[in-house]
Chain A
Amino acid sequence: MMKMSKSKRKRLIYNCVTFALVIVAFIVLQSMIANKTITRSLKGQLVPICCWVVMAVSLNLVIGISGELSLGHAGFMSVGAYTGAVVSGWLLRAFDMQDPTLRLVVAVAAGGILAGIAGTLIGIPVLRLRGDYLAIVTLAFGEIIRNLVNVLYIGTANGKLYFSFLNKELPADVTMLVDGAKGAVKIKPISTFTAGFVLIILTLIVVLNLVNSRAGRAIKACRDNRIAAESMGVNVTKYKMMAFVTAAVLAGMAGALYGLNSSTVVPTQFTFNQSINVLVFVVLGGLGNVLGSIISATLLTVLPEILRAFADYRMLVYAVVLILVMIATNNPIIRAWLTRLGNIFRHKFQRGTEKGGAAR
């Protein structure tokens, strides 16, 4: 009984710290914007950082908590980004909806819904597979989505949406919203940092609640021992699906926000490499560790910008840093040494092992 409440308290503290950190960061940055002490460069990165944080947290739900290696997460992001761009463009042009906040909310919701549908369709076959085979199929779906989007044409005229696939056969008077390889065009950027913050909070509420709920325990049980979970009467497919689709919805919402932050979105932004980038955030932050994902997504998005001082060498330095950090945090000898070095950090490292060890 005593032990139960202790672990519960630990969890509560962890959740509070996570929320507090995000909220404090938001307030600090907002006040920096208000008194103009923020650099242009950092200000421009705020919305993308929010999007990558949501991407990392949602992918962590699949990889860290559900224990399935997904390599196609950027595919859901592209579904969201395109949907967001089309919905926002359509609302503006067909219904003359001028209020950017309302448009953003509708677009982000639509992005989430469509990505959720895609997630469901993909999840049904994918989750029958295991391990690396599952990874390669998610990779394949990510690439298929990109390939299809590349030959998709959507335009709007007189309040109607026109779709065309492979060949651009649309009425002459349409305003193009999605133009094949040219991507989603003529987007009016409406994303704001506040919207990004709200989305992060929403993601945290969803993910942390899911993880700590009955369903979350079932998902983790499936991850840790599928057969044991199955024999206890847990419907493995259902719970894995729940994690996968939730992650897809969140990725779609992040995608919509990301797409509406720029005047244009291209299919090449959502390649396999982008999925890998998010995977790096997740692994570096610690599998199953939501706070870790937030921190690593933020740092790794900002890092290449800080490394601009290295000019042509910056991507080289980035690669070296990545390798060294992975070795330093995963090599048992170096880790033991680090642990001894600072007893203050001991607590954090233990959490890393305990959560990270379970998933593959």
Chain B
Amino acid sequence: MIFLDNLINGLSLGSIYAIIALGYTMVYGIAKMLNFAHGDVIMVGAYIAFCGLQYWGLPPVMAILVAMAVCTVLGVTIEGLAYRPLRQAASLAVLITAIGMSYLLQNLALMIWGANPKSFPRTFINSSILRVGELSISSATIITILANIVIMVALTLFTSKTKMGKAMRCVSEDRGAAELMGINVNRTISLTFAIGSALAAIAGVLLCSSYPILQPTTGSMPGIKAFTAAVFGGIGSIPGAMLGGVLLGVIEIFGKAYISTELGDAIVFAVLIVVLLVKPAGLLGKPVREKV
């Protein structure tokens, strides 16, 4: 029973990591950059949803939609202003810019919303408890896991069936060739940021529905964990991000529950290292063949 309880908690935490990891992995796949500011876009999304619910009295679904819209605009703006001028630059330069962007978003949030933590209001997402035998499962857990599955299926369909999605795959495969084939690379990258950021807003709402404290630094640790998850599953791969996220969540909860809460994070990272040593390109990553 305790085992099942832990498993469900792990799946729930892992699903949140997975949704965040999707944002990392999509941007990485297409723009070949680690967008460190992604965790902070999540935080902004959560704050906007919070404002919608608490100050503007919007119904939950509307609040989420507004948050998604704001994050989409934010993501595209960040990309256009900070990352696009560096398209030809070394990827480390872009990485540092992304880090600067992360500091900027955190400090802006501190300025706008203050340092005092906010508690994310209760919505339909986390207001009820489901009882199965001795287990009590929060509705947030179920909705998070379901949302995770829906998003993954939708993204997979999008990238394999639609024209835009195919363009994204082309750009990720070979940017130069895609350009030659008449694909607008800049627009495709913008679109990727738009989708990634909209997902970040959803992730923010789900994160704060399960763990309801909202601060300017809320996004950073889940962001790093999700980035780890994306690499764990094979960065650039959508099912990989999903698998990596869920596994990371489950390992974290099991490590804490059965080994030691003090060493919880150390266990997660140790497992990660072992996996990467055995499979150097992550669980579902494509091994890169070297051209000689």
Contacts and interface: CB of A to CB of B under 8 A. Distances in A.
* A touching B, CB within 8 angstroms: yes
Interface stretch (A77-85, A126-134, A202-210): A126-134
A319 B269 contact: no
A326 B97 contact: yes
Contacts of B91: 360
Interface in B262-292: 262-263, 265-266, 269-270, 272-273, 276-277, 280-282, 288, 290, 292
A141 interface: yes
Given A147-B265, A150-B262, A136 B231 contact: yes
A63 B103 CA distance: 23
Interface stretch (A18-26, A156-164, A272-280): A272-280
Given A136-B276, A137-B272, A330 B93 contact: yes
Interface residues of B, number: 44
B86 A132 contact: no
Given A125-B277, A140-B228, A144-B266, A316 B101 contact: no
A322 B280 contact: no
A319 B107 contact: yes
A60 B204 CA distance: 36
Given A128-B277, A316-B107, A320-B104, A139 B228 contact: yes
Given A315-B107, A323-B100, A147 B93 contact: no
Contacts of A144: 265-266, 269-270
Interface residues of A, number: 49
B272 A326 contact: no
Given A133-B231, A312-B111, A331 B277 contact: no
Interface string A150-176: 110000000000000010000000000
A316 B111 contact: yes
Interface string A311-344: 0110110111011001101111110000000000
A189 interface: no
A357 B90 contact: yes
Contacts of A148: 263, 266
Nearest to B97: A326
B224 interface: yes
Contact of A330 (B86, B103, B107, B224): B86
A133 B281 contact: yes
Nearest to A63: B92
A260 interface: no
A69 interface: yes
Given A151-B263, A327-B82, A322 B269 contact: no
A136 B104 contact: no
A151 B262 CA distance: 7
B85 interface: yes
A117 B101 CA distance: 36
Nearest to B28: A132
B227 A326 contact: no
Contacts of A69: 92
Given A140-B269, A312-B111, A322 B90 contact: no
A136 B270 contact: no
A234 to B, nearest CB: 16
B269 A143 contact: yes
B81 to A, nearest CB: 9
B280 A132 contact: no
Contacts of A114: none
B150 interface: no
Interface in B241-265: 260, 262-263, 265
7 contacts: A129-B277, A132-B34, A144-B270, A283-B96, A316-B108, A326-B96, A331-B85
